[in-house]
Amino acid sequence: MRLQTRHWVFASLFVLIAVVMASGIRLSVPVSPETQRMYDFIDSLPAGAVVLLSFDHEASSLPEIQPITRALLRHCFEHDLRPVGLALLAEGTAIGYRLMQTTAREYGKEYGIDYAYLGFKPQYVAAILSMGESISATFPQDYLGRPYDSLALLHGVENYDDVAAVLSIADGSFTTHWMEYGGRYGVPVIAGVTAAMVTTYDPYLASGQMQAMVGGLRGAAEYEKLLGRKGGGGARGMLAQSAAHLYVILLIILGNVAYFIKRRRSA
Amino acid sequence: MDRKIALVACFAFGVVMFAQYFSAHPVAHQVNQAVLEYWQIIFAFALVLGVVGFCQTNVTQVRKGHDRPYRMAALAGFVAMPLLATFWGIKAGSPFLWMFENVQAPMQSTVFALLAFFVASASFRGFRARSVPATILLASALLILLSRTWIPGSMSNWLPDAADWIRNNPSMAARRAILIGIGLGSLTTSLRVIVGIERTWLGGGK
Amino acid sequence: MEIGAVIAGLFTLAILTFLYRDNPVYKMAESLLIGVSIGYVLVITWSSTLVDLLFEPLFAQGALSLTLPLLLGLMMFSRFHHRMSFLSRIPIAVMIGSGAGVAIPAMLEQRTLKQMSATVMPLLTTSGRPDPAAIVILAGVLTTLCYFYFSREHKGMLGVAAKIGTYFLMIFFGTTFGYTVMSRMSTFIGRMEFLLTDFLRLTG
């Protein structure tokens, strides 16, 4: 078994994260203005408003996206909003369904009255534009095969005019499509995204095309703090994340020190 | 001749879908709704086509004996999912969802999690301050990483503010310029596709 | 211990073996993942689109107008026949043309014009002092656009502007790298939490 430098780097990271996670220490993080903006936006929506929740992500980003989604869903239910879930990516379908179900159960919410799940439609551009004309024509049945009209929550919800906001949970560029194609209908767009996508959406946040955004595990930890929930998925990972960041910073410094020493020797 | 028919169809649908954007007439809305529905249905067939292609390739390779155990595992997984869905449905608690939650999702997220290790390795081996631009890149990356790290003391006050300013101003400006460039590029490409100048989507052959 | 957690944990460890090197355990897990993923997509696409939007309205409710998309969709399969494969170009043309048509106003309005108008902000505050943020944003957008202008050689004023644009781009890439590291670490932290809590039951 021959170990190379990269194996030692991998092993050190593995052990570091394992030890820190096993310690069970939870860090409290200050709330950023960005996360506060999302919280205030959802708080400003009237009770009973319908919010479209679009699960535009794959299973690969689940560990990061799940805490964000849970926190936002909990806020929606606490504020008596009525989330209607859908997915523009096939994998988001099952994830969204389970997340909405398990979170709704915490608040005693009833399917079809307090929340609903419409399922998946392919070709995201066509789906977004089609819902602008008619959500019932786009989703004649929900994920479980019940007719759209049979769900009490969806009575009178015909298109984006009847929806308070679209909350896009994304690990890629799908939120961009909501703004670009849904923007035609003027529906407010908010997003919960992975940290890697945060800088992608900054221009939209600055221009007002996106009303609010929460990003990454840290965003989830901040949101959990605002909701007054301890021990959420976001908060549990904060110390490990800090440790991982310091580890990467150390690696960068060590790598550059070695580079400059080598350069000086060869000069 | 068939290429011309395809080009005419592309032009017709392109013009119709562009024109309906500027019309509030009920007929325009109906046409829009119909085309969007057709688009989704055809796309679903395209997905099924991809699945059929996957089966074809793997069955051929199994017959030839190339990577037989792996390809048979792939085919077994592929056959299992529709069978489970057909007999037990796709609701909560169904074997179909169980397979997704305990086989697909964990493996998929672990494949993605491998990137954490490769990012750490790349940081050690490749991230060098070789030039002024590289140093700027390195400095901004370090600032962002430090700002999102728990550091006791006074640094925890100004670091996040400095990082947020960098992110919301110079970084955002560069990203905005990229977006504008992509927007203009997408616009011209769409026009070229509709009028038939851009024909790569037709593929080869006669 | 729940059987699902055991299965998920074993598959997680199988994938992690790739960190040492490519091996049969990882390859087998990866192959199974590919097969299950494709089977999943097939089921979801079938039930949510083909049944919901096509078969049920057409055959159960008699919406004969859907015969056209059914025909167009079936034309896709002509690719498997050498002589008839040309038919598959027509449904592709419908998709490509429709996509291009809807993209033009969306790209123009949402991605270009709105972003441009958001860049044009007052450079002086109400008190008459320069607004550094607005100046930086305007300078950043203009110089980065100069960098991407390749129709002329980057010399003289254009060269200077393009050079400054490069620096703005490096700031953006560095910022993105920092957030990407954060994101990847979060994903691994999530998997580690699963291993410690649900699989090995070492933490609560």
Measured distance CA(B48)–CA(C48) in Å, rounded: 13
Taking CB atoms and an 8 Å cutoff, what residues of chain B touch C165? 174, 177
Taking CB atoms and an 8 Å cutoff, what residues of chain A touch C49? 120-122
Task: Report if residue A212 sits inside a domain.
Answer: yes
> Position C17: which residue type?
T
pLDDT value at position C175?
Answer: 96
Taking CB atoms and an 8 Å cutoff, what residues of chain B touch C99? 39, 190
Specify the long-range contacts of residues A246-251, CB closer than 8 Å, at least 24 apart: A246/B149, A247/A12, A247/A13, A247/A16, A247/B120, A248/B119, A248/B120, A248/B123, A248/B145, A248/C181, A248/C185, A249/B142, A249/B145, A249/B146, A249/B149, A251/A9, A251/B120, A251/B123, A251/B124
Assess whether pLDDT exceeds 70 at residue C84: yes
pLDDT value at position A219?
Answer: 93
Work out the end-to-end distance of chain A between its first and last CA atoms, rounded to an integer number of angstroms: 37
Taking CB atoms and an 8 Å cutoff, what residues of chain C touch B131? none
In sequence order, which residues have a C-beta less than 8 Å from that of residue C51 and are 6 or more positions away?
A: none
Taking CB atoms and an 8 Å cutoff, what residues of chain A touch C117? 207
Following DSSP, what letter does each residue of A61-119 receive, concatenated? GHHHHHHHHHHHHHHHHHTT-EEEEEESSHHHHHHHHHHHHHHHHHTT--BTTTBEEEE
Are the C-beta atoms of residues A60 and A171 closer than 8 Å to each other? yes
Residue contact C174–B123, C-beta within 8 A = no
Task: Report if residue C13 sits inside a domain.
Answer: no
Domain tally, chain A: 2
| Residues spanned by the domain of B174 | 128-198
Q: What percent of chain B is predicted at pLDDT more than 70?
A: 96
Length of chain B: 206
- Note whether A182 and A194 are same-domain residues: yes
**Chains contacting chain C through 3 or more C-beta pairs under 8 A:** A, B
Measured distance CA(A237)–CA(A64) in Å, rounded: 10
pLDDT value at position C121?
Answer: 87
Smallest Cα distance from B125 to chain C, Å? 15
Assess whether pLDDT exceeds 60 at residue A162: yes
- What letters, b where the CB count within 10 A reaches 16 and e where it falls short, cover A142-172? bbbeeebeebebbeebebbeebbbbbbbbbb
- Mean pLDDT for C70-76 is 94
pLDDT value at position C32?
Answer: 96
Bridge-based pairing state of the strands A189-193 and A82-87: unpaired
Domain tally, chain B: 1
Measured distance CA(B35)–CA(B37) in Å, rounded: 5
Q: Which of A6-10, A98-102, A227-231, A232-236 has the lowest mean pLDDT?
A: A232-236
Measured distance CA(A219)–CA(C12) in Å, rounded: 26
Task: Report if residue B177 sits inside a domain.
Answer: yes
- Mean pLDDT for A60-83 is 94
Measured distance CA(C186)–CA(A216) in Å, rounded: 8
- Note whether A113 and A73 are same-domain residues: yes
Instruction: Output the pTM of the full model.
Output: 0.92
φ, ψ at A181 (rounded to 5°): -95, -35
Residue contact B173–C136, C-beta within 8 A = yes
* B156 confidence band (pLDDT: 50, 70, 90): low
Task: Report if residue A7 sits inside a domain.
Answer: no
Task: Report if residue B165 sits inside a domain.
Answer: yes
Suggest the residue from A93, A123, A202 to mutate for an interface test with chain C (most C CBs closer than 10 A): A93
CA nearest neighbour of A182 among A167, A192, A197, A169: A167
What is the enclosing helix (H) or strand (E) of A190?
strand A189-193
| Residues spanned by the domain of C192 | 129-204
Residue contact C118–A203, C-beta within 8 A = yes
C136 touches chain B (CB under 8 A): yes
CA nearest neighbour of C101 among B187, B180, B5, A121: B187
- Note whether A100 and A213 are same-domain residues: yes
Taking CB atoms and an 8 Å cutoff, what residues of chain B touch C59? none
Tell me what ipTM this predicted complex has. 0.91
pLDDT in tens, A78-128: 999 999 999 999 989 989 999 999 999 999 999 999 999 999 998 999 999
Task: Report if residue A9 sits inside a domain.
Answer: no
Task: Report if residue A172 sits inside a domain.
Answer: yes
Assess whether pLDDT exceeds 90 at residue A257: yes
DSSP state of A32: P
* C82 confidence band (pLDDT: 50, 70, 90): confident
- What letters, b where the CB count within 10 A reaches 16 and e where it falls short, cover A2-12? eeeebbebbee
In B49-163, the DSSP E strands lie at none
- Note whether A260 and A144 are same-domain residues: no
Domain tally, chain C: 1
Smallest Cα distance from B191 to chain A, Å? 18
Residue contact C11–B103, C-beta within 8 A = yes
Smallest Cα distance from A149 to chain B, Å? 19
Suggest the residue from B17, B123, B140, B171 to mutate for an interface test with chain A (most A CBs closer than 10 A): B123
Assess whether pLDDT exceeds 60 at residue B61: yes
Measured distance CA(A68)–CA(A219) in Å, rounded: 7
Residue B131, SS3 per DSSP: coil
Distances in whole angstroms, Cα of residue A35 to Cα of each of A191, A192, A226, A231, B12: 11, 10, 9, 18, 46
pLDDT value at position A1?
Answer: 66
- Note whether A43 and A59 are same-domain residues: yes
Task: Report if residue A18 sits inside a domain.
Answer: no
Task: Report if residue A14 sits inside a domain.
Answer: no
Task: Report if residue B192 sits inside a domain.
Answer: yes
Measured distance CA(C167)–CA(C140) in Å, rounded: 9
- Mean pLDDT for A225-246 is 83
Taking CB atoms and an 8 Å cutoff, what residues of chain B touch A130? 33, 36-37, 40
pLDDT value at position B149?
Answer: 86
Chain A residue nearest residue C98, CA to CA: A126
Residue A54, SS3 per DSSP: strand
Chain B residue nearest residue C175, CA to CA: B141
Task: Report if residue A244 sits inside a domain.
Answer: yes
Task: Report if residue C169 sits inside a domain.
Answer: yes
What is the enclosing helix (H) or strand (E) of B114?
helix B105-125
Residue contact C89–B12, C-beta within 8 A = no
- Note whether A130 and A251 are same-domain residues: no
Q: C98: exposed, middle or buried (C-beta count within 10 Å: 0-12, 13-18, 19+)? A: buried
CA nearest neighbour of A69 among A241, A191, A226: A191
Are the C-beta atoms of residues B13 and C101 closer than 8 Å to each other? yes
Measured distance CA(A256)–CA(C137) in Å, rounded: 31
Residue contact B120–A129, C-beta within 8 A = no
Residue A12, SS3 per DSSP: helix
Residue contact B175–A126, C-beta within 8 A = no
Taking CB atoms and an 8 Å cutoff, what residues of chain B touch A198? 167
- Mean pLDDT for B109-127 is 92
| Residues spanned by the domain of A259 | 237-267
Task: Report if residue A3 sits inside a domain.
Answer: no
In total, the C-beta contacts within 8 angstroms joining chain B to chain C are: 383
B89 touches chain C (CB under 8 A): no
pLDDT in tens, C160-201: 999 999 999 999 999 999 999 999 999 999 999 999 998 988
Task: Report if residue C96 sits inside a domain.
Answer: no
| Max CA distance (Å), chain A | 78
φ, ψ at C6 (rounded to 5°): -65, -50
Are the C-beta atoms of residues B131 and C99 closer than 8 Å to each other? no
Q: What angle do CA A9, A14, A17 make, to 5 degrees?
A: 120
- Mean pLDDT for C56-71 is 91
Smallest Cα distance from A47 to chain C, Å? 30
CB atoms within 10 A of CB B149: 20
**Chains contacting chain A through 3 or more C-beta pairs under 8 A:** B, C
Taking CB atoms and an 8 Å cutoff, what residues of chain C touch A94? 40, 44
Task: Report if residue B107 sits inside a domain.
Answer: no
Question: SS3 string of chain C?
Answer: CCHHHHHHHHHHHHHHHHHCCCCHHHHHHHHHHHHHHHHHHHHHHHHHHHHHHHHHHHHHCCCHHHHHHHHHHHHHHHHHCCCCHHHHHHHHHHHHHHHHHHHHHHHHHHHHHHHHHHHCCCCECCCCCECHHHHHHHHHHHHHHHHCCCCCCCCHHHHHHHHHHHHHHHHHHHHHHHHHHHHHHHHHHHHHHHHHHHHCCCCC
Q: What is the CATH number of the domain that holds A93?
A: 3.40.50
Length of chain C: 204
